[in-house]
Chains A and B, each alone.
Chain A
């Protein structure tokens, strides 16, 4: 498990065994395979690249080649228990729409994203005056797929606007265990390199307090 990405570890912890999961931007199916193996989920992936989908099919995963910006619209409401979007929201053409769609087609969404408000990024921009290149965002501005970067604060306010509830949140940093955080605290917007959220629609049944207490712990 040591090689497992930190956000995968958290997702694996969050997802209920046997649930229906949609992994948006599933790549070559690493996460779906783990979820299928460890949590016996009924998994479905959505992936834009030929290579990714072919790899998934060869591994026996159910994956549709498609574009999250366009193809989420075709899934029926509440078709899944969880929709997962791992480090991909910032690469969407219309992240607002994608986020809203995730919580239409699934009861809950697990979304992880890099935090553009991290102090190192702010410092980089302040001192060098150039687009920051960091561990989480390693590519130069002209080739990065990340066209819609945001800070934690931007993201929480978008959740507010879409009437989404943040059931849990944790800060992620490479090689370090996830750290549960209060997403709205300004200090976290400086400290968190990247964050993972468990989201639901406002008004959806709350997670049991006991469950909530163990999330991201």
Chain B
């Protein structure tokens, strides 16, 4: 609890930025340290007197702490307003919901665009390579500072789901339940390959400037947009893409050139250009790298069940989407089998949808009812009213 005393909270009731002084660095898997450390976060609801109703929500690759509040850059609603809110499965009336920007991110937590204390300039590529475990360690520092010993639940989607698994492996005693949605226990060759395309697109942009673009007042927007376009394809299923766009044209007739003739091209270009307004290219490099390095079983002799062995008291819920080919049902089954083998109590359902990985953020009543049922029964056991 020493951290609590010394860390400064620039905070209002609903979150803020937690600043750890230089003598409380975040120790990274790479051996490097990160200091001073800042963690930007949002909270919803109230911590109860028993401090037993805290839920940490872990965001996806390009998500942030604005899970259920208007995004300050885009002005759009939070990324999971379908799940977090009054009357919804994660109800602030019942739970104290915390969501923090991952380290390496670009929405207020320490990342490559933060100032490097050694130089007084943005880190750029001097920022250390981070891992999923590093992100989780930083989250644990935040939870400490908020005075929470045990989380009622840690709920994560996509990359956030990997953080959930890491939480179970690294801090099992601090969890009562855990929900891992559309994630995987490791990054596959195909996952890494797609990320490499994105990184190469960024680094091939002349405005990337070896990662030092901020100093030169430019941004590798074209590269970052292409990275987003490639990644976005992996979030959609083939049938969903076909249904949405087919071969529909933007205008009457072909342009006989390289304008966006097809609606799907125009859609992807829009996804790319709108993304660069809210995301930092170097953050994209660092976070995709953290994902690629993720292989939870790797630290446990290749046996995933070993990672979960100390988490036998934790109640797990694993959810996947049938048409998700980024982190497929097979990956979730792999997690569930390891949980069973470790003797953990696990629930698992594959939600039938043709919307691909993106189903996470879309209207999926089965997801809502599964989450609601799981959390409500866990809350009952935990005595959270």
Interface residues of A (CB under 8 A from B): 42, 44, 50, 53-54, 56-66, 71, 74-76, 79
Contact = CB atoms under 8 A, between A and B. Distances in A.
Given A57-B317, A74-B337, A75-B340, A64 B373 contact: no
B328 to A, nearest CB: 14
Interface SS majority for chain A: mixed
B274 interface: no
B374 interface: yes
B62 interface: no
B374 A57 contact: yes
A65 B349 contact: yes
A101 to B, nearest CB: 12
Given A74-B337, A75-B340, A76-B341, A57 B352 contact: no
Given A42-B345, A60-B377, A65-B348, 6 more contacts: A54-B351, A57-B370, A60-B376, A62-B346, A63-B347, A76-B340
A121 B333 CA distance: 40
Interface in B289-311: none
Contact of A64 (B315, B340, B369, B372): B340
A42 B373 CA distance: 17
Nearest to B329: A65
A76 B312 CA distance: 13
Interface residues of B, number: 26
Interface in B371-385: 372-374, 376-377, 380
Given A54-B349, A65-B350, A71-B337, A60 B343 contact: no
Contacts of A53: 347-349
A195 B369 CA distance: 36
Contact of B372 (A56, A58, A71): A58
23 contacts: A42-B345, A50-B366, A56-B347, A57-B349, A57-B373, A58-B370, A60-B374, A60-B376, A60-B377, A61-B377, A62-B345, A62-B347, A63-B348, A64-B336, A64-B340, A64-B347, A64-B348, A65-B348, A66-B333, A71-B340, A74-B337, A74-B340, A79-B340
Contacts of A71: 337, 340
